[in-house]
Chains A and B, each alone.
Chain A
């Protein structure tokens, strides 16, 4: 579990930035959701975005994956596109970001009319131009890792939520992105299924995958994240090593948020 998976680009020596975001701004119909977000993600590290609902965490993630068009700001990948956003940025330009990252959704968003295997091979075959044999070989190997190789011919509705989300993770991995994005990956799961999914994410982190994780699971964030970024009201309020931000937060807003999540009653 210590070496990087053989289908990922070999991680450059640690500490080099994979992703840099500066001045990211986004409004929806006059409401400013992101005010000016800066973010840096180093290769091989895990960044956890935490914060109250409506704080803009998910919007950041969606901008990184090119699902949302920021109004301003720069998103640049060390090994690929750097996009400066303005009112005139084209959709094509925004979508050039997409191949660098892959998203794992809160609600899984598996394709209901495709089998587990087809869910995983759809992108590699039809977007990356892999052969069917290549794509299936990789898909089965990845499914095996998350304990689902035997369910390859099942349809999503035949799986539990935890199994569906593991397929969602494999579907993202199969795109061999340089960055994995997780949008509250366990929020839709029954409590007893959360552990299976978190275990998979933790293994990926230990293998050296670079990821940005939006989560409400603070103990998990403390466990896997190298850096925690606390957002509130569309701005980054505090950032730092997980143990510091979650253990001894400096900002009052962070302190209140962490306290509320750790002591719900």
Chain B
């Protein structure tokens, strides 16, 4: 974003020092660019030395290698039983120039060059293509490099992207370069991090799917000298997403997604045709074209984007479109080019891929939220305490909810330790339960707590271990979500401590586990005025269903939704639970003894009963698809030991 705080419409610039002041025409109509964009490029093939670049601010180096390759593309004519061999020249990102020798480019490669807003990069290009090439951000500002990089030489382009989004780069010294495959994807992540496309609420996503749309004229690509082929003879015969056709036998791999997830579709139309991407059964929120934010009808930043069924992409255009997944487990949601380009009947148009609704377990992009048990651990440079909620995105641990920033500060004999958690990944709301009673910040036992103001809505002087609290991220205030003593969980011992939690913010349904066995002989007073008996073991998942949606502290009923003693647990004490539409996932306090070796369920692990089925009529046994399986092992993050075991999990 611009220093003036307004929307910086200038996107990004590949600049060369050979062209003097850049792009004055565009500056007249757009807001001023960042001064950091004054930049340089160097080409080994021309008389510019590396010293010119070193005078700029320290830049991050990226390396691209341009070289030839051969793609085997499933032949639509026979349903993919055979392949069509296509020669191409492509870019591939490599760790250093030396890696270019062994790098293998992919036709239509969706792997993005990932940049961060506001950071200056030197993008080095090693040209092993056999002909002169250049690098240009398509449709983006910046002076053209008309000379390029000679074959066998290397050069560099400096870029400071200032608007996050999805972009395409290519070599455009000759119109055939892009047709031959010399193009790629740049994703500019917001400075705030890659959780949104543009640093805005409407562009916040759970996962992304990059979709590169291309087509190939095999005669052109396989010509001995493609540059001797008349451009007017261009006649495409293969139509690709991410370098693949869709055929009966070979398809682009589907992206497995969970219902409710927001999936950012990053379309890159690298084809010379105008194409229209449609999703069957889901609306697409038009977030951006070419990195430029689109609102309802381009009225103002922050408006809800228009949701369309078809995203029309001119040749060379990119779009960011958001879909919210809706569907039953296993359902395949098609994404395809409505222009229905295809070279053979029967394949519905070759540019087709699917989102597939998760049939169970974690997806490749699942985010895991957890809290430690009675420990402090350094996890990849982030210090996580047991009153914190950490987030694991598959690569990094980050702090999601820092307990001490909300008054949960260990003091003397009072240990602040979250032992049950659920989160709303979109709003940032957190539901949690404590492992021990704790003085209410600002209450009589802790009047000077600096975060007392957050807790004014919570009655009493003690935060009880059998209660569930909710942190509202929008107001910054705490409240009691579920008062355990009101549903029969007493605070006399830690038996009734709620130690695992999974809530539905909309219905108020609250699933939990307890630290000890709730004796069947224990009378549970319910709101109706009568008492009834309710028993559950600490391997059970208990459900509180309020009579009034989203009013969990009113009247309601208790039930057992999962009895994991049926699955071999006996006294391990489930201390974390996360439910998905198909699965029960949990972690235990004690080691799971059987089987002792493979898989060895550790007390740090997130274990799943996939495809959980409660007891059927006439049965008393819960079942899963297959044996219990480890979904996640927190030991890999330096959890470790009895202290440090994970006692709260949530999935987002």
Q: Do A and B bind each other?
A: no
